[in-house]
Amino acid sequence: MIDYKKLAGEKINSLIPYQPGKPIKELERELGIKEAIKLASNENPLGVSEKVIKAVTEALHEMNRYPLGDAFYLRQELSHFLNVDPARIIFGTGSNEIIELAIRTFVKPGEHVMSYAPSFSVYGIIAQANGNSCKWIPTKERFKVDFEKLKDAIEDTTRIIFLANPNNPTGVYFNSDELTDFLNFVPKETIVMLDEAYIEYVDAADFPDSLKLIDKYPNVMTMRTFSKAYGLAGFRIGYAVGNIEGIDMLNRVRQPFNVNMVAQIAAIAAIEDKEFVRRSIKVNREGKVYLYKAFKELGLDYIETQANFILVNVGDGKKVFDNLLKEGVIVRFLGPALKEYVRVSIGTQEENQIFVNKLKKILSKG
């Protein structure tokens, strides 16, 4: 008998896989209901832009061909949009792949990555899968990043620090002054990856302009995604912007055809459909105001968010999560470290109302 566990080794055996939000179809099948709603994975509730659908549909007949390995047209489009040198950009199958590429490229045996907790669990999963580990540094009151603790924790072997801004699952952000103070402290050979998956939703005036920092701090890279405000989560496409030499190293590890052609075409159309992104941001802002008000009326404490989801203290997170599921509403329970909370993605106004009504019903039953 072959012992696959032994072959994989201890690091893989002890790996706890990422838990995605439950798919709508699965819940509907389980409960035998229709019209379940999913507010669990911070997806865009407006669907896919019509312009994206048109561009992608037209391109389908060419899918016998390999994609452009260098994403030439998308690179041109994004470089104009962001006003950065095209050689500073790398694309991935979601920013998840960029996280993986960065760890595989730069984190050697005996080195580790670091982040603050709670944050995006994928940093730790990929580090562990690569034979490394993630040092999680606790946050301060109301989940604010504790930069002093992060500074104290940096070692010679800390190769990458992942800083989600705004953070997932809390929606909390750090400002420009906090970031520059930290970057002035971080050793040159520790890479700081700013994970800005939710940047389009940010309205804080003092939020860092990270792309401007890359010249001054060559160890900084910014990751972004088309999965959220651009509505392309299912296409799997994200990117990073960084120092040319750093990006070149990532490109050596990247598979030649990592981003499929449909995703590249979708992303070009999504950048061009500015109206869709504007509408997504507007719906999110209105949803945020509505949910804040509803939580206040219900006497629930919530964490102020700069993203498209809200962490709300419901007392017993698991129970409320389970009861919402039974009502056909999928939110996210985030495990024992956040046991009093659920995280709800901001949906359409109709979805938000359904969620609030079901939540009221559940809480009134105790």
Q: Where are the alpha helices (DSSP H) in 194-336?
A: 244-253, 261-272, 274-297, 317-326
Q: Measured from the CB of residue 128, what is the shortest distance to ligand PLP in angstroms? A: 17
Residue nearest ligand PLP by beta-carbon distance? 94
Q: Between 334 and 356, name the residue whose CB sits nearer to ligand PLP.
A: 334
Question: In the structure encoding, which two tokens stand for residue 232, read together?
Answer: 């392309």
Please state whether beta strands 191-195 and 220-225 pair in parallel, antiparallel, or not at all (unpaired): parallel
Q: Between 222 and 227, name the residue whose CB sits nearer to ligand PLP.
A: 227
Binding footprint of ligand PLP on the chain (CB under 6 A): 42, 94-96, 120, 164, 168, 195, 197, 225, 227, 233, 238
Q: Measured from the CB of residue 361, what is the shortest distance to ligand PLP in angstroms? A: 28
Terminal-residue alpha carbon distance, the chain? 52
In whole angstroms, give the CA distance from residue 110 to residue 82: 36
Which element (helix H / strand E) includes 90? strand 89-92
Q: Between 228 and 358, name the residue whose CB sits nearer to ligand PLP.
A: 228
Beta bridge partners of 136: 115
Q: Measured from the CB of residue 46, what is the shortest distance to ligand PLP in angstroms? A: 17
Q: Between 284 and 323, name the residue whose CB sits nearer to ligand PLP.
A: 284
* Selection from 131, 188, 178 nearest residue 154 by Cα: 188
Q: Measured from the CB of residue 298, what is the shortest distance to ligand PLP in angstroms? A: 26
In whole angstroms, give the CA distance from residue 278 to residue 283: 9
Q: Measured from the CB of residue 42, what is the shortest distance to ligand PLP in angstroms? A: 5
User: Distances from the Cα of 105 to the Cαs of 88, 135, 191, 250, in angstroms?
Assistant: 16, 18, 12, 6
Q: Where are the alpha helices (DSSP H) in 60-175?
A: 72-82, 95-106, 122-129, 147-153
Q: Between 105 and 227, name the residue whose CB sits nearer to ligand PLP.
A: 227
Q: Between 168 and 323, name the residue whose CB sits nearer to ligand PLP.
A: 168
Q: Compute the Cα dihedral for 3, 6, 7, 12 and give only its sign.
A: positive
Backbone angles phi, psi at 168, to 5 degrees: -115, 125
Q: Measured from the CB of residue 305, what is the shortest distance to ligand PLP in angstroms? A: 12
* Selection from 75, 23, 115 nearest residue 271 by Cα: 75
Q: Measured from the CB of residue 172, what is the shortest distance to ligand PLP in angstroms? A: 12
Q: Between 238 and 287, name the residue whose CB sits nearer to ligand PLP.
A: 238
